Amino acid sequence: MSRLVKVENQLHYINRIKNQVAKANIDNISRTGFYEHFFYKHTEVRWALLAGLVSRNAGWNMTDLRNQWFRELLTEQDQLRLFAIYECGNWTIFDDACPQLLLYEQSKLEGVPLFHLLRELGVSTFMEKEWHHFWLYRDEERLCTALIINEQHVIEEALIQKQLFRDVISSKLFYKVEQYSHFSYVVLPTITGHLYTLYVRRFQNVSSRIKLGRQLAFLLFHPDLHKNILAFMQHQHHTGSRRDYYTYTTWSPRVESQVLRLLYPVIEHDRSDREDWYKKRREVTHFFYPIKEWKPVPREKWIQHKWMMIYVAATFKKWLAPD
């Protein structure tokens, strides 16, 4: 009888988690809020704060597509294609990671690991192994790295290898976006107004994205930065507008930046059955090797330069083809 109750409880956990994921995975704003509030409750799961920061950047990139400069540079179709890529990646990572976080939370409440249920939630066997490792050894940095590795492999199959992304990568559109360093740079704002950033050129390469994720984690939890980045995230509600952090800086591009929910509707996603990427690629040890550390330097001037490039390009294009 006790075993039957235990099975019933497990089914209850699975169904409840699926419902919670569906409710939280509405749009970029809800996903970002979930990640960050989860971290405030479970600070040992560093990846949740990293995910919140990266999700903020995804929201800012989404709304940028609708500002006057990008409307000049990109066609309506191109804007929608890029939005679809940002939204699909943001949704997919949350759909995979949120069940893991909720199951960890339930494991803490029960006092026993429930990670064998991850397979019922469509999560890789790689993460089942890594969550068990974390439960035993409490290696926070390793868990963060493992989640970076896992999520980048998840979007590799769910997004990067899909035709939409391949079409964008092979088009002049991607060259334009990469030229302005807009597709794959991440800003880390601080409550003091300083901005830090990292950029990856080969975004379509899974190893490059994993390296970027690990470098972002290094900056986010660097003792010289963590307090000020965390204070920004705690004090500034995420809206999707870059005004979120330009209100703290001494400079802004002075381009319109509306809140995300005024620009985009809720997008319906189909969750197709996901194959376990770890069954195809077992050798991941090298992704855990220590990364090279460095002294963080504010990059406001670099960001100003990139925005100036966008402004000049948009102005030049408008001058060449006036209404």
Q: Which pair of structure tokens corresponds to residue 71?
A: 């409307």
> What pLDDT is stored for residue 183 in this prediction?
58
Does residue 86 surpass a pLDDT of 70? yes
N-terminal to C-terminal alpha carbon distance within the chain: 76
CA gap 312, 300 in Å, rounded: 18
pLDDT over 90, % of the chain:
72
Q: Which of 240, 239, 243 is nearest to 254 (CA)?
A: 243
Average pLDDT, the chain: 90
Q: Is the pLDDT of residue 105 over 60?
A: yes
- Is residue 209 packed enough to be buried (19+ CB in 10 Å), middle (13-18) or exposed (0-12)? buried
pLDDT band at 320 (very low <50, low <70, confident <90, very high): confident
Distance CA 306, CA 183 (A): 12
pLDDT in the model for residue 316: 83
CA dist 18 to 38, 97, 269, 281, Å? 17, 12, 15, 27
When comparing pLDDT for 179 and 19, which is higher? 19
Average pLDDT over residues 124-143: 98
Report the range of poorest mean pLDDT among 21-35, 118-132, 148-162. Answer: 148-162
Q: What percent of the chain has pLDDT over 70?
A: 90
The pTM (predicted TM-score) of the whole model is: 0.94
CA-closest candidate to residue 150, choices 174, 168, 134, 165: 134
Q: So what's the pLDDT on residue 163?
A: 67
Phi, psi (rounded to 5 degrees) for 2: -65, -35
pLDDT, position 309? 86
Question: Cβ atoms within 10 A of the Cβ of 130, count?
Answer: 22
* Interval 187-194 mean pLDDT: 98
Stronger pLDDT, 217 or 167, i.e. the higher one: 217
The confidence band for 162, taking pLDDT boundaries of 50, 70 and 90, is: confident
243 or 200: whose pLDDT is higher? Answer: 243
